Amino acid sequence: MSTRHKPTAAFWITLGLILLFVVYPLSIGPAFYVVLKAGQPAWLNDAFHVVYGPVFRLVELAPACVDRLAFGYLFWWARAAGVEV
């Protein structure tokens, strides 16, 4: 008979931090793609800026290399959506 342990609070905190610091910033690219493919309707564009405003703010405060990396990532998604940048 095996004993199964329930996930501890440390597990859930770790998972939440991974989602916050890795998945959330990386999800800006696919979200940008959706906004561009939808034709940039005002409501979707506004929602995008509200949801990802903190990421843009952090990029503004970061060193120039982070800025280039972040906008290069967004430009890659824009080209994937068929937009010339």
Domain boundaries along the sequence of the chain: 29-85
Distance (Å, rounded) from C-alpha 44 to C-alpha 42?
A: 6
User: pTM for the full model?
Assistant: 0.83
Angle at 32 between CA 56 and CA 82, to 5 degrees: 135
- Report pLDDT digits (tens) over 29-77: 999 999 999 999 999 999 999 999 999 999 999 999 999 999 999 999 9
H/E element, 55: helix 42-61
The conformation of residue 82, written as its DSSP 8-state character, comes to T
